[in-house]
Amino acid sequence: MSNLQKIKHDCRAAREAFARAHREHFALGAFNLDNQETLIAVVRAALAKKAPVLVEVSQGEVEAMGLDNIRDMVDNYKTQYGIEMYINLDHSPSVENAIAGIEAGFECIHIDISQANHNAPREEIIRGTRKIVEAARKTGALVEGEEHYFMGSSNLHTEKIDYAEVKKLETNPASAADFVKRTGIDTFAAQVGNLHGAYPVPKHLDLDLLRQIRSAIDCNISLHGGSDTPPHYFIEAVKIGATKININSDMRVAYRQTLEKVLDENKTEYAVVKLMGQVIEAVQRVVETKIDMFNAAGKVRP
């Protein structure tokens, strides 16, 4: 099998996984990778829960690790553990970056023109998104798009949520339907009160709005900003029809807080590999909790 044939095979498998999620009412957790330790944590969680998963990287992680290295690491762990795992290029800020992800064999590509320009006009976003949909035909990769800038950042925030500002950016179902029709995307990033990061006050998701969006479009629905969200929202969102939910900040908080604790308790240990066991376990627990919340446990392909 040639490399292109393998990529097409993997992209077909990813499409089937999303179709299975839609039929069986579960969501694929999309878990960000900061390094090899977070990848190991996701792999172990997927194995323990018998769940299909996405791992994803945004531009910062791509610059740190490299597209081909990420592809190779994921393939190596997939083979070693026999798990169902796909890669998503998250919030790719330009057409060129997104095409590079397609060429590297990523099964899912999220093109986000507004990442580089928060005030990018809608027509510019549509044009750029359509280019990636066309480019993705080479491999069959699933393309995700969003209409405008998505608030927040994947971090532990100290400020409270400006609910009024979040409300202004919520998805309009009719506009979403137009965006999906004009771009041809496979996955739509819906905004129903979700935002990136963890905050000192709870997030409020508008599930009625999500139902309206689900009725308006027939493609996959992705929810970004899944960290630090009260569980009942995602339990219901999956029932409504969300098929992809992104998690990053919860993993990063568990990683850093556990690492700080381990370092404090082991001041004379300098072999880093000996310090990472508890860190990996902490991140794994976060991932396993989300897999259960997304109803994805036991849903690996037959």
Task: Give the pLDDT confidence of 52-83 residue by residue, as tens digits.
Answer: 999 999 999 999 999 999 999 999 999 999 99
In a domain, 301, yes or no: no
Read off the pLDDT band of 166 (50, 70, 90): confident
In a domain, 287, yes or no: yes
Expressed as residue numbers, the domain containing 100 is 3-293
- Distance between CA 260 and CA 163 in Å, rounded? 32
Task: Give the pLDDT confidence of 130-156 residue by residue, as tens digits.
Answer: 999 999 999 999 999 999 877 666 677
pLDDT of residue 151: 64
Would you say the pTM of this structure is higher than 0.75? yes
The Cβ of residue 68 has, within 10 Å, a number of other Cβ atoms equal to 12
In a domain, 140, yes or no: yes
Stretch 235-259: mean pLDDT: 96
More confident residue, 157 or 222: 222
DSSP states of 141-209: -EEEE-SS---EEEEE--SPP-HHHHHHTPPPHHHHHHHHHHH--SEEEE-SS--EEE-SS-----HHH
Task: Give the pLDDT confidence of 289-301 residue by residue, as tens digits.
Answer: 999 999 999 999 9
pLDDT of residue 105: 98
For the chain, what is the domain count? 1
Question: pLDDT at residue 8 above 90?
Answer: yes
Q: How many CA atoms lie within 13 A of 185 on its CB side?
A: 31
Question: pLDDT at residue 39 above 80?
Answer: yes
Task: Give the pLDDT confidence of 167-185 residue by residue, as tens digits.
Answer: 778 999 999 999 999 999 9
In a domain, 233, yes or no: yes
Q: Which residues contact 258 (CB under 8 A, 6 or more apart)?
A: 278, 279, 281, 282, 283
Read off the pLDDT band of 218 (50, 70, 90): very high
In a domain, 173, yes or no: yes
Per-residue CA distances from 281 to 156, 171, 233 (Å): 20, 36, 26
In a domain, 300, yes or no: no
Residue 128 sits in a domain of what CATH number? 3.20.20.70
In a domain, 299, yes or no: no
- Write phi, then psi, for 37 (nearest 5 degrees): -65, -40
Contact 216, 193 (CB under 8 A): no
Question: pLDDT at residue 225 above 70?
Answer: yes
In a domain, 298, yes or no: no
Task: Give the pLDDT confidence of 186-216 residue by residue, as tens digits.
Answer: 999 999 988 877 786 778 899 999 999 999 9
